[in-house]
Structure 1
């Protein structure tokens, strides 16, 4: 009777130790995205987030290309921004810094200085509006100019539990949270899908938001589409903390092994 009670006690203790180990690990029930989308062929989600074109601000770098009938005259304008940036690039490379992006830097007055055309104020405009303005001014000097304008340094930063945390320069102005996370190689198994933190610089003030990848309501969020210089932070879950605590895990494993050996020895005598 005593032997049976001791064996039962040791087995119970072993079971509790196993529960303690597994309880420290995060379950996978919250890994899948958009868990509230269940019905096959579900109707479209109403009132989804609307994209707002970003406005050009001071210190932005804008890529501008002007094409004309005479390729040589167009090259005069197109090379100005690149030459100016390359001069700075050579200086920063000598210091071991990352070279800047090629393009025209918007100065503190919100202007750029184009060869032949002169100064053009672009601050507060969308790239489409900037294109039309530059095209109008270029038409004075060139025949039927074709102008292309886009952000050369539209960047977002993804930190935390993603495969490739980094700052990404994106050639497309319309980038969503999912696009950005895709660039970063998606979340790791340890990332909290329901608590993605977004930090945004809004007129010199920091703005914060929480995004939930587990819910389809993400598509309605005003923060679904990112803006320049947005920062996404993926918080680690409890499983990450448990995985980092190797000493505790090894101790549990050692105790479990010892208890298993004791159970085997007791049951044989």
Structure 2
């Protein structure tokens, strides 16, 4: 009886160790980024991915500031702007907080309503083009106005095997895949680096693309730079399943040990 119980414990231990070894082998494979870059190429690699400035769409929120010679006028215009819309986006900022989003909402007609300046159609324009248009209209009312326009809700969502999956509001229009993953705390050890999926809304249709973080070709991809509302999904690798199996094996081992102790106690009664 004792020998049989001892053999059972040895089998349980073997299953546990084997599971740990399999998980370790799987999760340490293909962990490093850009593995195909040789030492000779490190100083020659160039980024040829083309950055396209995002255009303003309906339901975007714009942060708009108009500065004039009269500081009193500045206060009136920009105070109205800060109160134009203030709604919680449920997103995480680049600093990790969850602030409300303030700014001018682009309505269904593609227009924003500015104090004194009036309604301005901005859909289809970049923030630079919108700035020039607003400056032109503001010059009718103000002397030499200085206008600043940026997105207040440039959002990307990162899901799957990252340290901090969430939606992130980024105060910058030029955001790369690597920037976004950095905000999310990088991939976990179980993230599939050779198969990162990007989901993009293109004119009401969903567009899918896959990127390989193990390859330098990512720097040439048209999806290297993200657009507002892009979604990144990092698929779990086989190591994730192995880790779950290891946890299951540990549970079985504990159950087996408990049963063995119970049997010993019963036989001694």
TM-score by length of 1: 0.80
Q: By how many angstroms is 1:43 displaced?
A: 5.2
CA distance in 1, matches of 2:75, 2:171: 22
Question: Cα–Cα, structure 1 residues 133 and 17, in superposed 2: closer, same or farther, change >3 Å?
Answer: closer
Instruction: Give the aligned partner of residue 247 of structure 1.
Output: 248
- Is the counterpart of residue 215 in structure 1 residue 215 in structure 2? yes
Q: By how many angstroms is 1:82 displaced?
A: 2.0
Q: Is the 8 A contact 2:199 2:231 kept in 1?
A: yes
Q: Unaligned regions of 5+ residues in structure 2, if any? A: 1-9, 89-97, 257-269
- Is the counterpart of residue 61 in structure 1 residue 91 in structure 2? no
Q: By how many angstroms is 1:243 displaced?
A: 1.3
Instruction: Give the aligned partner of residue 78 of structure 1.
Output: 78
* 1:61-91 superposed Cα distances (whole Å, 9 cap, x missing partner): 00000000001112222122322324x67xx
Q: By how many angstroms is 1:220 displaced?
A: 0.6
CA distance in 2, matches of 1:214, 1:62: 36
Q: By how many angstroms is 1:19 displaced?
A: 5.2
Q: Is the 8 A contact 1:135 1:145 kept in 2?
A: yes
Q: Is the 8 A contact 1:85 1:100 kept in 2?
A: no
Question: Cα–Cα, structure 1 residues 196 and 162, in superposed 2: closer, same or farther, change >3 Å?
Answer: same
Question: Cα–Cα, structure 1 residues 123 and 248, in superposed 2: closer, same or farther, change >3 Å?
Answer: same
Higher mean alpha-carbon deviation, 205-214 vs 33-42, is at 33-42
TM-score by length of 2: 0.80
* 1:202-242 superposed Cα distances (whole Å, 9 cap, x missing partner): 11000001111000000011100000000001111111112
Q: Unaligned regions of 5+ residues in structure 1, if any? A: 1-10, 90-97, 256-269
* 1:39-75 superposed Cα distances (whole Å, 9 cap, x missing partner): 2454534671110000000000000000000011122
Question: Cα–Cα, structure 1 residues 137 and 243, in superposed 2: closer, same or farther, change >3 Å?
Answer: same
CA distance in 2, matches of 1:108, 1:190: 42
Alignment of 1:228-243 (within 5 A): 228-243=228-243
CA distance in 2, matches of 1:230, 1:115: 32
Structural RMSD (CA): 2.7
Alignment of 1:111-126 (within 5 A): 111-126=111-126
Instruction: Give the aligned partner of residue 22 of structure 1.
Output: 21
Higher mean alpha-carbon deviation, 243-252 vs 181-190, is at 243-252
CA distance in 1, matches of 2:47, 2:240: 36
Corresponding residue pairs, total: 237
SS in structure 2 at match of 1:84: coil
The runs of 4+ residues in structure 1 deviating greater than 4 Å are 14-21, 249-255
Q: By how many angstroms is 1:254 displaced?
A: 9.3
Q: Is the 8 A contact 1:21 1:252 kept in 2?
A: no
